[in-house]
Structure 1
Amino acid sequence: MLVHGFGKTHTGLRRKNNQDSFAVVENGAHALMGIVCDGIGGGNGGDVASKMAVRHMQDSFKAFDISKKTDVEIKQWLLNTIKEANDLVYTEASSNPKLHGMGTTMVGVIQCEDAAYIFNAGDSRTYGLYEDDFICLTEDHSYVADLLKKGEVSEEEARNHPNRNVLTNAVGVWDNIRIDVNKINKDYRCLLICSDGLHGYVSETMIRRILESDFSLEKKVDLLIQAALDAGGFDNVSVILIEKEDAA
C-alpha cells in the first residue's frame, strides 16, 4: 500500500522556543512512520527530550526489518523501542541537573504494506478520518482524561479545567512508562498526528472540515497550523498527515 506523509511544526505566537519534535520516515521495507513528541520540562529540557525520543524511534525504525513480521512482533518491537527511548531520556534527565524533570509525550503511526499501528504516551493524539466518521484513536494520559473517564467532569469542564495540562504518563519522566500500542482499521482516508497545540485549541469540527477538503496534503497541514495560530497560537503546534496516495 502506497502512503504519503507530510508534517510541519511551528513555535506558535506565545512561546520563545519550540519543544515539539517530529519525523516522517520510510524504511527499507517501504513502511512509513510518523511521530510527534511534545517536550516537557524547564529551560531546554523539553526540547532535548523530544529530540532524543524522536531520534531514537527514527533510527530504530530505519534498522527494523518489518517485512514478514507478525502483529505480535511489531507490537513488541514498538513496546521495546519506546521503553528504550524512555530509559535514554530518564537517564539523561537524572544525570544532568540542568535537564532534571524533562520528558516528552510521544504519539505516532506505523503504516506497513497491509496493516497500520498506533502508539501513544501522554496527551498528543492521533485522529482517523474514515469514510463516514472522524475519531480520536488515542487515549490521553492526563489527570483530566482520568476525571472524564470516571464521569467526574463534563467535556466542557475538562476543556477548561485548570489542571488540563497535567500528565499522568510521559516518556522519560519516570523509570516506568505506560505505552498504548494498537492495530487500527487501515481503511482510513487520512490520519492526523498532532501535539496539543492543535487539538487543545482548534475544534474537532474545524479539523475535520480541513481534512475533508480537496486541498493537497501539504496545504492541509498549513491550514491546520494556521488554525492553531488563529486560535491564539498559545503553544507549539506540530502536525503530520498520512494519506494513501490513491486517496489524494
Structure 2
Amino acid sequence: MSFLGRLFSRNPTVSPAEGAARPTAELGRWSTPALQATELRIEGGLATDPGCVREINEDFARIIRPTTPAALHKRGVLAVVCDGMGGHEAGEIASRLAVETIVRRFEEDELAADPVAAVPRSVQAANRAIFDAAERNHQMRGMGTTCTVLLLRDGMAYGAHVGDSRIYLIRGGDIFLMTEDHSAVMELVRRGVITRDEARHHPDKNVISRALGSHRDVQVTGWPQPFAVLPGDRFLLCTDGLYDLVDDEQLLATARDVHPQVACDRLITLAREAGGHDNISVAILVMSTPHESTSAGMRETRAIEIPQ
C-alpha cells in the first residue's frame, strides 16, 4: 500500500519520518471529530534565506490568515512553500507566480467549497500560469518550481504537492513525513531498491521527476481526504535546502516546543551552520486553544516584478 494509502486508510499507521526521535506512532489513535475554527487558534512562523552560497533566493513562501472571524471560518489558513529553478532569475519568478496564483484562488474563496479537489486544482492553475508565462517570454523558458500547499480549515487539514518540498506533522512527540518526494531516488525507495537512509546520501537525491511549469499539465499529488487536527499539532513545510542539512530528529527537537517564528529562525540558522548550500525556506503552523496561544507575526517573502 502506498504512503498516502496507509495514511488515509481506516486505521492508518504511519511511520515517523526517517531519523525521528521517537518510535512509530499511529495517527489513527488520535482520531477525533473535527474541531471548529472557534475551538482552535492557528499561529504561524515563516522564514526564508538565500543560504551561504547562492546570491539569489529562488524560494518563495507565504502564510495567509484572514483577519476577520467570518473569513477565517470560511477560508481557513493557507501555507504555500515553493522552490524555484531556472536561470536569469526565472526560478524566483516561477516560485512567486505559483504562490500568488494559489493565494488568489484562496482569497477568492475558490478553495472553500470542496477543498479536497480545490487545493490540487489550485496547484494545477499555478502550473498553467507558469507555463503560459514562459510561452510568452522566451527568457523564462525552462523555469519551474516545486510547490507544497497546506490548508487548515474548520479543524481539518488538506494538502497537495508537486516536487520535493515537504510537509511534516509533529504530533505527540513524533514527526511524520506527510508527502513523498517526486524524484527518481524516492521511486527507488518505494520499490525497495534502496532505503530512506541511503536516499539521503544518494548523488541524485535532489533531481526531481515532476515540477510546475515544465508541461502544460502536471500530475498533482493531493491528499485523498482531510484529517482532523488536534491541539498541539505542528505542521512544518520546507524546501530541500532545509531538510538536506537538518535531519528529522533536529527538525523535531527544534520545532516542537517553541513559538513557530522562533523555530523557523532557529532552523534557518542550523541549515546555514551546516553549509547552507541552497536556498532555505520553512513555514510552521501550530494548533492551539485560545488560552494557550501567544501573539504571532506572520511573515511573507518579498515581491518581485514579473516580466510581461
* TM beyond 0.5: yes
After superposing the two structures, state which structure 1 stretch, 230-239 or 171-180, moved more. 171-180
Aligned to 1:204: 248
Deviation, structure 1 residue 116: 1.1
Aligned to 2:152: 111
| 1:237 is the counterpart of 2:280 | yes
In structure 1, stretches of 5+ residues that fail to align are none
Deviation, structure 1 residue 135: 0.5
Matched residues, number: 243
Decide whether the 8 Å contact of 1:12 with 1:229 is kept in 2.
Answer: yes
**Alignment of structure 1 residues 66-105 onto 2, 5 Å:** 69=113, 73-105=114-146
After superposing the two structures, state which structure 1 stretch, 185-194 or 223-232, moved more. 185-194
Which amino acid letter does the alignment assign opposite residue 45 of structure 1? Answer: A
Deviation, structure 1 residue 175: 1.7
Deviation, structure 1 residue 131: 1.0
Deviation, structure 1 residue 65: 6.1
Aligned to 1:58: 103
Which amino acid letter does the alignment assign opposite residue 194 of structure 1? Answer: C
After superposing the two structures, state which structure 1 stretch, 99-108 or 86-95, moved more. 86-95
Decide whether the 8 Å contact of 2:111 with 2:119 is kept in 1.
Answer: no
From the CA coordinates, give the structure whose radius of gyration is larger: 2
Decide whether the 8 Å contact of 1:29 with 1:65 is kept in 2.
Answer: no
Which amino acid letter does the alignment assign opposite residue 232 of structure 1? Answer: G
After superposing the two structures, state which structure 1 stretch, 140-149 or 92-101, moved more. 92-101
Decide whether the 8 Å contact of 1:193 with 1:240 is kept in 2.
Answer: yes
| 1:186 is the counterpart of 2:225 | no
Which amino acid letter does the alignment assign opposite residue 207 of structure 1? Answer: L
Deviation, structure 1 residue 66: 5.5
Relative to structure 1, the CA distance from residue 178 to residue 204 in structure 2 (aligned partners, 3 Å threshold; closer, same or farther) is same
Decide whether the 8 Å contact of 1:11 with 1:17 is kept in 2.
Answer: yes
Aligned to 1:29: 71
SS of 1:117's equivalent in the other structure is: strand
SS of 1:219's equivalent in the other structure is: helix
Deviation, structure 1 residue 193: 0.6
- Paired with 1:41 and 1:159, the residues of 2 have a C-alpha distance of 24
SS of 2:115's equivalent in the other structure is: helix
Decide whether the 8 Å contact of 2:110 with 2:118 is kept in 1.
Answer: no
When the two chains are superposed, the root-mean-square deviation of aligned CA atoms in Å is: 1.6
After superposing the two structures, state which structure 1 stretch, 101-110 or 215-224, moved more. 215-224
Which amino acid letter does the alignment assign opposite residue 154 of structure 2? Answer: E
Deviation, structure 1 residue 185: 4.0
